[in-house]
Chain A
Amino acid sequence: MENIGALSLFLALCLSVYAILGSLTGKWRGNNFLIVSAERAVLAVWGLLTFASGMLVYALLTDDFRYAYVASHSSKTMPSIYKFAAWWGGQEGSLLLWTWILSSYSAVVVWQNRRKYRAMMPYVTAIISVTQAFFLILITVPLTPFEVLAVGKEITTVPDGRGLNPLLQYWSMAIHPPTLYLGYVGFVVPFAFAMASLITRAPGDSWIHTTRRWTLVTWMFQSAGILLGAGWAYAVLGWGGYWGWDPVENASLLPWITATAFLHSVMMQEKKGMMKVWNMVLVAATYLLCIFGTFLTRSGVVSSVHAFAQSPIGAYFVTFIVIELAAVTYLILDRLEFLKSESQLESVVSRESSFLFNNLILLASCFSILWGTLFPVISEAVTGEKISVDAPFFNRVNVPIGLFLLFLTGVGPLIAWRRSSIESLKKAFLWPLAGMAVSMGILFALGIRHIFALMSFGLCVFVTWTILSEFYKGAAAISSKSGQNLVAAMVELTHRNTRRYGGYIVHVAIVIMFIGFTGAAFNKDATVEVKEGGKFHLGGYDMTLTKINSGQNDHYRYVSADIAVHVNGSQVATLRPEQRRYTTGDGSSEVAIRRRLNEDLYLNFAGMANEDKAVIQAYVFPLVSWIWIGFAALLGGTIICLIPSKIRYSFPKTQVLGQVVKEGQPVGPR
């Protein structure tokens, strides 16, 4: 019975290989039976992986410590929710989750397209199954989650497990990895369709229409995963950082950036038939960066705080990535003719150009992050000397890039497709730029001297103005015709073109998040040693440590401090930061946060300096709540984008038939 999970994984691997061979052979020989049977193999893989995952979860929930994985990542005293979350708390289990999510996506793709894209589907099935088989090899051979503990030839059990790392026992950490994986894994689908369209030279851009929604959904999950991770780091790690430019954090950001670039540039292909090669490159880059990100997380090739999930499987990943990269490069180069642009750029001052610059800046940001992440490895390989590339490097390089990107977010909607006249630009930019200048002037007068902060706030005003004016213009037109009030007209406007106005809401969300990021320029902190009754001060807060508490329960011992917080002499809150020491020997901090729109007061109980003196780290983080509000707005905007528009828009492309020539007139480029 102990091996039934491992057997399921092995069978799933065999069926994945069958799905690859069956779909390709079926396609090449014109054998529909084989094609359909390969698709059913994909469904069977999902069934087997669901069973294997169920087995692991059951073992975790029932404290079956005969399994090495359960003994290493769970314990009897852990709450059930964290026993469940231990599924992805370790290396083997998280790879099983990756594989299970991929099999679920594959099953949906196969089911949704059982009557569509029949010429393309065998390749789609094969490409997805290749990735599936790769991950199945990992969890079948070097990293099986079903390894049993054995003494001699006897399967044995241990009295209790080591438990999940206490840092991971937090609600957002229970959903952060699966959410991020839903994003990572989902990009396999657009990649498979894009490559299948190249292989089959499918006419038109049907793969884009099929995969745009996939891309958007997976982009949403990835955004959510990244921000849940940021929220976890903020609330759990004890020093209020939500982004530390750790290699693994960077690895999650890289495919998000390329996917964002794709979601923009794909509009060029849909509306103008342009940038086809570029879109292929972006789809492939996003997929490969997802695999690369998993490699960085799992291999330990660069040092990372995510050290709880490292193992020596780097060689598998490197081999896989190199093979895939070579195949994709060959395919794109071989099909360049098929990817020829259908229309021309009519003016540099056009929406099309703004998309080009948007993509350039996004990719520059992606490259600089990738470069900074890998530079210590490259440097050591070339010079033999270790080097540090820490947060200040990434901030110095990416803050200007981020601000320019924010600027483009405001510029894009103001420029028309095809071409914009100087007059129309003047008209469109005058008030937003004036708003930006005035807001920067006011902030300067109020004493803000941080140049990037001033620019960021100014650009936030600029972008918000441009987006709100887009909403206002559209809603006013509807309102004047239908007599609806402006709010109802805005709802109607958004419903008529959910993709466009949902996109604008996402842009507003980015602005809101930038406000939150900019607040970091004004952080304050203090670390104090205080006795009961001791007072300390930070920012506008006067704090008194009223009581030090201690105790223990089944899981951990704790010591905490009750801290009365006063503002202008009035008590506004009592916060209780706590430090825990788990029975497993691990420690964690439970910070106390007073969240407000203007700033968070963040208290961390760092420990006891001596028997009666507590060490308290106090921080004031201005505007940080705006990041989480922006996150909610981003989710809302993306969901609106996914709702079908009330009016179905079609984008006829300009078709050049030829030119009428008079007799004797030369024919050629004008």
Chain B
Amino acid sequence: MAPARYLLWMVLTGLSLAQVSSEFVTADIRRAGSRLACLCGSCKNSVGDCAMLGCHYSLPARQKIASLQAQGATDDAIIDSFVREKGKVALVVPPVEGFFGLAWWMPVVVMGLGLALVYWFIQRMSKPAPVAPVEQRVLDRYKESIEKDLASLEE
């Protein structure tokens, strides 16, 4: 290999990603990782799904999951370990507890309120509004207009 090309190889290799995070992604790691947020700041994926090789968060997180699984830890224990270390931000979705549960409940509540609003609207709009008596001459004028229109249609 020519020296210049060799140098280029070295530079590119250095700049590229020496580790392959995916070699750690077994089905078990993906399952546990799918409950943990990738906190790299560049994606909104889970540790199990993050596709960035050498991601500064998901790669060590996967290594940690693999290590805990090797020690026989359950998925819940692994998740708890991440939460203890990072806080609830480590979870990919908010937990259904306390204030955080609002994240899940609010869309349901709003949908329910919306349905109630639609029901109220339908009830209200289905009742004809009170109408005032109309004079016979007004009706006659409309009838005459309809007759004219119908006559012109027949022509």
Show the binding face of A for B, using Cβ within 8 Å: 238-241, 244-246, 274, 303, 305, 307, 341, 344-348, 353, 356-357, 360, 363-364, 367-368, 371-372, 375, 379, 382-383, 385-393, 396-397, 525, 527, 529, 550, 552, 557, 559, 579, 581, 587, 606-611, 615, 617, 656-661, 667-670
Contacts and interface: CB of A to CB of B under 8 A. Distances in A.
Nearest to A239: B51
Given A527-B20, A609-B20, A348 B130 contact: no
A579 B14 CA distance: 13
Contacts of A661: 133
B64 interface: no
A658 B22 CA distance: 75
A371 B106 contact: yes
Interface of B: 5, 8-13, 15-18, 20, 22-23, 25, 34, 37-39, 41-46, 49, 51-54, 87-94, 98-100, 102-104, 106-107, 110-111, 114-115, 117-118, 121-122, 125-134, 136, 138-139, 142
Given A390-B37, A658-B134, A356 B121 contact: yes
B53 A390 contact: no
Given A658-B132, A667-B133, A608 B12 contact: yes
A348 B44 CA distance: 41
B94 A389 contact: yes
Contacts of A241: 45, 51
6 contacts: A274-B125, A388-B88, A550-B5, A559-B12, A611-B9, A656-B129
Given A608-B13, A657-B138, A390 B52 contact: no
A476 B117 CA distance: 41
Contacts of B100: 379, 383, 387
- Most chain A beta-carbon contacts within 10 A, residue among B9, B114, B125: B125
Given A581-B12, A660-B139, A345 B122 contact: yes
Given A386-B89, A393-B94, A617-B53, A375 B103 contact: yes
Given A238-B51, A388-B39, A669 B129 contact: yes
Nearest to B133: A661
A342 to B, nearest CB: 10
Contacts of B12: 550, 557, 559, 579, 581, 608
Contacts, number: 201
B103 A371 contact: yes
B14 to A, nearest CB: 9
Nearest to A396: B93
Nearest to B121: A356
Contacts of A615: 16-17, 20, 53
A610 B14 CA distance: 9
A392 B142 CA distance: 61
A393 B91 CA distance: 11
Contacts of B11: 557
Nearest to A245: B44
Given A274-B125, A617-B22, A659-B132, 14 more contacts: A239-B51, A345-B121, A363-B114, A368-B106, A379-B103, A391-B45, A396-B93, A579-B16, A611-B10, A615-B53, A658-B138, A659-B131, A660-B133, A667-B133
Contacts of A389: 93-94, 103
A367 B110 contact: yes
A387 B138 contact: no
Contacts of A346: 126
A238 B139 CA distance: 72
Nearest to A659: B131
Given A353-B122, A367-B107, A383-B99, A607 B88 contact: no
A360 B114 contact: yes
Contacts of B104: 397
Contact of B8 (A307, A385, A393, A552): A552
Contact of B87 (A382, A385, A550): A385
B51 A617 contact: yes
Contacts of A375: 94, 102-103
B130 A668 contact: yes
A364 B128 contact: no
A664 B115 CA distance: 42
Contacts of B110: 364, 367-368, 371
A375 B130 CA distance: 46
B43 A244 contact: yes
Contacts of A307: 41
Contact of B127 (A244, A347, A387, A669): A669
Contacts of B88: 385-388
B20 A581 contact: no
A659 B37 contact: no
Contact of A587 (B13, B15, B42, B107): B15
A527 B22 contact: yes
Contact of A345 (B10, B23, B38, B126): B126
A303 B41 contact: yes
A253 to B, nearest CB: 14
B126 to A, nearest CB: 5
Contacts of B16: 559, 579, 606-608, 615
Given A527-B22, A611-B9, A659-B133, A606 B17 contact: yes
Given A364-B114, A557-B8, A617-B51, A305 B42 contact: yes
Contacts of B142: 657
Nearest to A619: B51
Nearest to B141: A657
Nearest to B102: A375
B13 to A, nearest CB: 5
Contacts of A660: 133-134, 136, 139
Given A385-B89, A657-B139, A390 B13 contact: no
Nearest to A363: B114
A397 B107 contact: yes
Contacts of A659: 131-134
